[in-house]
Amino acid sequence: MTDDVLLVHGGTPLEGEIHVRGAKNLVPKAMVAALLGSTPSRLRNVPDIRDVKVVRGLLELHGVTVRGGDVSGELLLDPTHVESATVADIDAHAGSSRIPILFCGPLLHRLGRAFIPGLGGCHIGDRPIDFHLEVLRHFGATVDKRPEGLYLEAPQRLRGAKIELPYPSVGTTEQVLLTAVMAEGTTELRNAAVEPEITDLICVLQKMGAIITMDTDRVIRITGVDRLEGYNHRAIPDRLEAASWACAALATGGNIYVRGAQQQPMMTFLNVFRKVGGAFEIDDDGIRFWHPGGALQAIALETDVAPGFQTDWQQPLVVALTQASGLSIVHETVYESRLGFTSALNQMGATIQLYRECLGGTPCRFGQRNFLHSAVISGPSKLQGAELVIPDLRGGFSYLIAALAAQGTSAVHGIDLINRGYENFMQKLADLGAHVEMGG
Ligand SMILES: CC(=O)N[C@H]1[C@@H](OP(=O)(O)OP(=O)(O)OC[C@H]2O[C@@H](n3ccc(=O)[nH]c3=O)[C@H](O)[C@@H]2O)O[C@H](CO)[C@@H](O)[C@@H]1O
Ligand SMILES: C=C(OP(=O)(O)O)C(=O)O
């Protein structure tokens, strides 16, 4: 598709201000939570991204009326007609995002059955759903996995369960939350994920009338209730998008004020950004990120579940690390195939070597399994414009950063993928003085 190519003329520092709205990894899940309410919900700070459109379409298919509110970024979700909806053409939603798997609990509670089409999301690893299916069975659901999707049934009301996750999976923790809140009795979830987006989903559910405690040591306890109401909630800002722009400022030698960025959910990122040599200044409305001049420092880094360094921050940071002096080590412990995007950076002039061994301090699940999941980045490198094909969401944004930091022109193919998680990024690039144009 020719209109899906962006020509990026690099070498200009990004400077100016952009605004990040609600988190891609919270908003679609809060929209799913609205399915559990007996009354309408109001979600605020909703970004205009494709994952939101996908979930909106799926909710509408299930009889939820979704419309914009009086203010930009407001969604009103009315689930009162879910029981009478005729669900047609659901197959059209196959492969669109990972969110459909979270419809299981709410649909089982409301209808006693659910069909979930094939999932999408970024190809950064195998991304099985075995934990999801296991926990749904613990609640008493039957699951029939077929090539076209999942067929689930709840012969009786779902019952609370004692569950321990093999790994603190974000999606499975959300699956448990969205199912346990209306299950009979109590649920104890051990080894839960505790990402800020999960805490915000818990806040949404608490507003609806759910009873959830987040204890120490990754334990979440939920007491099921018979009825939940709608909610009124302002989504937390997107800490992943904010960090992406921070890396763009660092890699291009620029200065970007990210309105909406918040310190607390970004603490781990901010520490790393500072170690690399980036500067930032925090105020009540956002965070300014800039390159203070001089050399950037190489670092050793491992991605991890929260409160560790988020895997979604890794790819944009790697581009900035190509500009640091010395050898940086990045050990990716969350997804086994999230470093493949670096081969294109090497074509641009970076020196990044991938290893199968765990090069960080901690052996991870992938160490003995032949995955290239550690990287050594030798810098600083002069990047040159190149022909780039976007592999996944963060990899795609990382290619944009690399192209903007490079000398010469790059042609970035598959640019539309970035709309899945970055609101209005073309306008933001223009506001920051980037020299970009659609190719033809
Ligand atoms: C829409 C959304 O919120 N996406 C985020 C979510 O993805 P998502 O919820 O899919 O990620 P998970 O936390 O579930 O996955 C973490 C790890 O657990 C494994 N796993 C997961 C489920 C399962 O049933 N079996 C299994 O083995 C995965 O393959 C992966 O290695 O959390 C990730 C980790 O912070 C982020 O990178 C994604 O941006
Ligand atoms: C991996 C990501 O998302 P998803 O789970 O939606 O594929 C991401 O946001 O970087």
**Strand partners of residue 149:** 117, 146
- Reply yes or no on whether the pLDDT at 425 is more than 80: yes
State which of 26, 99, 167 you would mutate to test the pocket of ligand 1, scoring each by most atoms of that ligand within 8 A of its C-beta: 167
Dihedral of alpha carbons 110, 116, 120, 123, sign: positive
Give the model's pLDDT for residue 180: 98
Closest ligand to Cα 364? 1
Distance of CA 39 from the midpoint of ligand 1 (Å): 31
Residue whose CA lies nearest to ligand 2 atom number 2: 122
Give the model's pLDDT for residue 224: 98
All structural domains of the chain with their residue ranges: 2-20+237-438, 27-234
- Reply yes or no on whether the pLDDT at 2 is more than 60: no
E strand or H helix that includes residue 234:
strand 232-234
CA distance 166 to 189: 11
Contacts 24+ apart (CB under 8 A), 355-359: 358/331, 358/333, 359/329, 359/331
Mean pLDDT of 262-266: 98
Q: Say if residue 334 carries a ligand binding annotation.
A: yes
Least confident range from 88-92, 217-221, 295-299, 384-388: namely 88-92
Q: Say if residue 24 carries a ligand binding annotation.
A: yes
Distance of CA 87 from the midpoint of ligand 1 (Å): 28
Distance of CA 326 from the midpoint of ligand 2 (Å): 30
pLDDT tens for 140-171 read 999 999 988 899 999 899 999 999 999 999 99
pLDDT tens for 208-236 read 999 999 999 999 999 999 999 999 999 99
Q: Which amino acid is at 55?
A: V
State which of 334, 335, 394 you would mutate to test the pocket of ligand 1, scoring each by most atoms of that ligand within 8 A of its C-beta: 334
pLDDT tens for 312-351 read 999 999 999 999 999 999 999 999 999 999 999 999 999 9
Q: Which amino acid is at 396?
A: G
According to DSSP, residue 357 is labeled: S
Give the model's pLDDT for residue 36: 98
Distance of CA 372 from the midpoint of ligand 1 (Å): 18
Residue given tokens 């200065």 in the structure block: 255
Give the model's pLDDT for residue 360: 79
First vs last Cα of the chain: how many Å apart?
9
- Reply yes or no on whether the pLDDT at 121 is more than 90: no
Residue whose CA lies nearest to ligand 2 atom number 9: 312
Residue whose CA lies nearest to ligand 2 atom number 10: 312
Fold of the domain built from segment(s) 2-20+237-438 = UDP-n-acetylglucosamine1-carboxyvinyl-transferase; Chain (3.65.10)
381 close to ligand 1 (CB < 6 Angstrom): no
Q: Please give the mean pLDDT across all residues of the chain.
A: 95
Q: Over 181-193, what HEC string results?
A: CCCECEEEEECCC
Give the model's pLDDT for residue 338: 97
Whether the domain at 2-20+237-438 and the domain at 27-234 fall into the same CATH topology: yes
Q: Say if residue 312 carries a ligand binding annotation.
A: yes
- Residues with Cβ within 6 A of ligand 2? 24, 97-98, 121-122, 124, 312, 393-394, 421
- Residue among 157, 138, 86 at smallest CA distance from 115: 86
| DSSP states of 403-438 | HHHSBSEEEEE-GGGGGGTSTTHHHHHHHTT-EEEE
CA distance 348 to 369: 29
- Reply yes or no on whether the pLDDT at 1 is more than 70: no
CA atoms within a 13 Å half-sphere pointing along the CA-CB vector of 66:
23
Beta strand extents in 304-367 (DSSP E only): 324-331, 351-355
pLDDT tens for 16-52 read 999 999 999 999 999 999 999 999 999 999 999 999 9
ipTM of this complex: 0.99
- Residue among 243, 246, 252 at smallest CA distance from 402: 252
Give the model's pLDDT for residue 89: 74
Quick check: is 122 catalytic?
yes
State which of 174, 312, 335, 341 you would mutate to test the pocket of ligand 2, scoring each by most atoms of that ligand within 8 A of its C-beta: 312
Give the model's pLDDT for residue 323: 98
Q: Say if residue 428 carries a ligand binding annotation.
A: no
CA distance 150 to 114: 8
Dihedral of alpha carbons 63, 205, 283, 299, sign: negative
- Reply yes or no on whether the pLDDT at 409 is more than 90: yes
CA distance 64 to 77: 6
Distance of CA 84 from the midpoint of ligand 2 (Å): 33
- Reply yes or no on whether the pLDDT at 4 is more than 50: yes
Catalytic residue among 104, 122, 247, 364: 122
Closest ligand to Cα 174? 1
125 close to ligand 1 (CB < 6 Angstrom): yes
Domain 27-234 has CATH 3.65.10.10: yes
Q: Comparing 125 with 55, which gets the higher pLDDT?
A: 55
286 close to ligand 1 (CB < 6 Angstrom): no
pLDDT band at 3 (very low <50, low <70, confident <90, very high): low
CA distance 317 to 276: 10
Distance of CA 424 from the midpoint of ligand 2 (Å): 18
191 close to ligand 1 (CB < 6 Angstrom): no
- Cα separations in angstroms, 98 against 88, 170, 310, 403: 20, 12, 18, 29
Angle 265-269-275 from CA coordinates, rounded to 5°: 145
- Reply yes or no on whether the pLDDT at 93 is more than 60: yes
